[in-house]
C-alpha cells in the first residue's frame, strides 16, 4: 500500500517510549518514507543517534548549531523538505513547550518554524497525563491544529497502569496514514457488516464460510479514515478491532440482522460486506450429536436478507452491496444490484476475494462498470469509499423503495 507521506521529520523526545521510535523508524523506511530523525537531548539519553542513523540510513540531528548544515539553518531546511513532523514520543514537557512556542532546541525550533502538519504521539506516566496542566495543553494543541495520536492505556514503565502509554509503532503507522486521507465522509454515519456468519447445528458444529473479515474491516478503516463515524458488525473472525471504530460481534445471520436493525435508522450509509449464510438449520441441538452409521439430515430454512431489508426501509441509508461469484461475475452481480435496488455494488471473484490480503473489485452503478486494479484490500476499500462519496455528492438517489425481490 502506498503510504500517504513521502518525507517525514521524526522528533524523539526524552521518554522511555523512545525505544518504540526505533521500530517506528524501521516501519516508516520499509513503507518507503524518507525519515529525518531529530533527537532532543533527553531523547538521546534513551536511544543513541547511531541507532536511528542505522535504521533511517540518514544523518541524525541533535543540535541547533549543527555544522553539517551549510547555511547553519537546520531548523528551516529540515521542515521545508518534510511532508509532516511527527514527534513520538512527545513528553509532557515537550507538549508544554509547543503550547508556549518555546524554541530552545532544534526540535522545538523546527516545530515553530514549520509550514507542514505537526503530529504528536504523547507518552508519559498516567498522573502526568491526567494532570490539569497537561489536559489544558492537549486542548490548546488541538485548537492550534496539532494532530494528537493516542496515548493508549495499559501497563506503564513506572509500574502503574493507566492512560499515557505511547501507541505501538504499527498502530501509529496506521493512524498517521489515516490522518492524511481526504475526509470525504466527514460527519457521515456508516454501518458495515463483515466476515462470515455461523449457523449452529449442535454444541460444536455449524455452517459457515471462508470469509476472513479482512475486506469488511478494510472498508471500516477506509470509512473511518475518510472522517466517518463507523459501526462495524462482525461475524466470527479473529481480527483486532481497528482504533476509533465501534465494533459489535455477532454469530448468526439472525444476530447480525438484529444488530443492524438496532442502529440502522441513525445511519447515512450501509455497506454489506459480510458473507451472510443464506440458510440456517431449522433445528439446533443444545448438546453434541452422537455419531452413528446413519445419514444425518439437516433441514435448512432461509435467512432474512439483511441488505435487502435495509434497502427497503421507508428512508433507507445509501446502500452498498458486495457480491462474490465464481463465474459470470459481472452479469450475476448486476442482477443482484438490480434485484436489491442498490445504487452501488462491488463485485469480486470468489477465487481472489475470500481470505486473501488482496482483491480486485468491479464497482457497478447506474453509470456502468468501474474496475479497480488488483491491490491490497485497504487500497481497494479507499477507492470504494471515494466512489461512494462521489455518488452521494452528485445527488445519486438513495435506494429507491419499490418491490424488493429478496430471493437473490
Binding residues for ligand PMT (CB under 6 A): 193, 195, 211-216, 253, 272-276, 278, 303, 305-307, 321-324, 336, 348, 353-355
Q: How far is the CB of 395 from ligand PMT (least distance, A)?
A: 23
Query: Is 111 marked active-site?
Result: no
DSSP 8-state secondary structure symbol assigned to residue 165: E
Q: How far is the CB of 247 from ligand PMT (least distance, A)?
A: 15
Q: How far is the CB of 236 from ligand PMT (least distance, A)?
A: 11
DSSP lists the bridge partners of residue 162 as: 154
In the complex with ligand PMT, which residue's Cβ is closer, 59 or 200?
200
Q: How far is the CB of 199 from ligand PMT (least distance, A)?
A: 11
In the complex with ligand PMT, which residue's Cβ is closer, 25 or 212?
212
In the complex with ligand PMT, which residue's Cβ is closer, 167 or 323?
323
- Strand-strand pairing, 206-207 and 199-200: antiparallel
- How far apart (Å, rounded) are the C-alpha atoms in residues 65 and 110? 13
Q: How far is the CB of 327 from ligand PMT (least distance, A)?
A: 13
In 82-238, which ranges are continuous DSSP H helix? 92-100, 106-112, 126-130, 132-143, 169-179, 214-225
- How far apart (Å, rounded) are the C-alpha atoms in residues 249 and 264? 16
- How far apart (Å, rounded) are the C-alpha atoms in residues 211 and 193? 12
Q: Write down the residue that cell numbers 454469530 correspond to.
A: 251
- By beta carbon distance, the residue nearest ligand PMT is 272
In the complex with ligand PMT, which residue's Cβ is closer, 43 or 216?
216
Catalytic residue among 111, 116, 158, 319: 158
Element (H, E) at 310: helix 306-311
In the complex with ligand PMT, which residue's Cβ is closer, 105 or 365?
365
Tell me how many degrees the CA angle 71-74-79 measures, rounded to the nearest 5.
125
- How far apart (Å, rounded) are the C-alpha atoms in residues 194 and 213? 5
CA distances from 36 to 7, 12, 33 (A): 8, 11, 10
In the complex with ligand PMT, which residue's Cβ is closer, 58 or 339?
339
Q: How far is the CB of 399 from ligand PMT (least distance, A)?
A: 13
Q: What distance lies between CA 345 and its chain's CA centroid?
A: 21
Tell me how many degrees the CA angle 59-64-65 measures, rounded to the nearest 5.
90
> Sign (positive/negative) of CA torsion 395, 398, 399, 400?
negative
Residues labelled as active-site residues: 158
Amino acid at each position: 500500500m502506498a503510504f500517504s507521506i513521502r518525507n517525514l521529520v521524526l522528533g524523539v523526545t526524552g521518554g522511555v517510549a523512545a525505544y518504540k521510535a526505533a521500530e517506528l523508524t524501521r516501519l516508516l523506511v520499509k513503507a518507503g518514507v524518507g525519515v529525518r530523525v531529530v533527537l532532543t537531548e533527553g531523547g538521546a539519553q534513551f536511544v543513541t543517534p547511531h541507532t536511528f542513523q542505522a535504521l533511517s540510513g540518514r544523518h541524525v540531528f541533535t543540535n541547533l548549531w549543527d555544522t553539517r548544515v551549510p547555511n547553519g539553518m537546520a531548523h528551516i531546511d529540515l521542515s521545508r523538505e518534510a511532508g509532516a513532523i511527527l514527534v513520538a514520543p512527545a513528553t509532557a514537557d515537550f507538549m508544554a513547550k509547543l503550547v508556549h512556542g518555546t524554541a530552545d532546541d532544534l526540535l522545538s525550533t523546527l516545530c515553530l518554524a514549520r509550514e507542514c502538519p505537526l503530529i504528536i504521539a504523547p507518552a508519559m506516566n498516567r498522573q502526568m497525563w491526567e494532570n490539569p496542566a497537561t489536559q489544558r495543553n492537549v486542548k490548546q494543541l488541538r485548537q492550534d491544529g496539532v494532530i494528537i495520536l493516542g496515548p493508549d492505556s495499559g501497563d506503564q514503565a513506572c509500574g502503574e497502569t493507566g492512560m499515557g502509554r505511547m501507541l505501538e509503532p504499527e498502530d501509529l503507522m496506521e493512524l498517521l496514514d489515516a490522518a492524511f486521507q481526504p475526509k470525504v465522509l466527514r460527519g457521515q454515519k456508516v454501518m458495515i457488516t463483515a466476515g462470515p456468519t455461523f449457523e449452529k447445528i449442535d454444541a460444536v458444529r455449524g455452517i459457515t464460510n471462508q470469509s476472513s473479515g479482512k475486506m469488511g474491516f478494510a472498508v471500516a478503516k477506509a470509512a473511518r479514515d475518510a472522517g466517518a463515524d463507523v459501526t462495524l458488525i462482525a461475524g466470527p473472525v479473529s481480527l483486532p478491532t481497528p482504533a476509533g471504530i465501534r465494533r459489535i460481534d455477532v454469530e448468526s445471520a439472525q444476530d447480525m440482522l438484529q444488530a443492524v436493525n438496532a442502529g440502522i435508522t441513525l445511519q447515512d450509509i450501509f455497506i454489506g460486506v459480510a458473507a451472510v449464510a443464506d440458510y440456517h438449520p431449522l433445528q439446533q441441538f443444545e448438546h453434541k450429536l452422537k455419531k452413528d452409521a446413519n445419514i444425518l439430515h439437516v433441514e435448512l430454512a432461509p435467512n432474512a436478507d439483511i441488505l435487502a431489508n435495509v434497502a427497503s426501509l421507508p428512508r433507507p441509508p445509501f446502500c452498498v452491496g458486495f457480491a462474490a461469484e465464481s463465474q459470470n461475475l459481472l452479469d450475476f452481480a448486476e442482477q443482484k444490484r438490480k434485484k436489491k435496488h442498490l445504487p452501488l455494488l462491488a463485485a469480486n471473484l470468489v477465487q481472489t476475494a475470500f481470505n486473501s490480503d488482496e482483491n480486485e473489485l468491479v464497482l457497478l452503478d447506474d453509470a456502468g462498470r468501474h474496475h479497480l486494479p488488483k491491490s491490497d484490500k485497504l487500497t481497494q476499500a479507499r477507492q470504494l469509499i471515494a466512489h461512494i462519496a462521489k455518488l452521494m455528492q452528485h445527488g445519486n438517489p438513495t435506494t429507491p423503495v419499490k418491490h424488493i425481490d429478496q430471493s437473490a
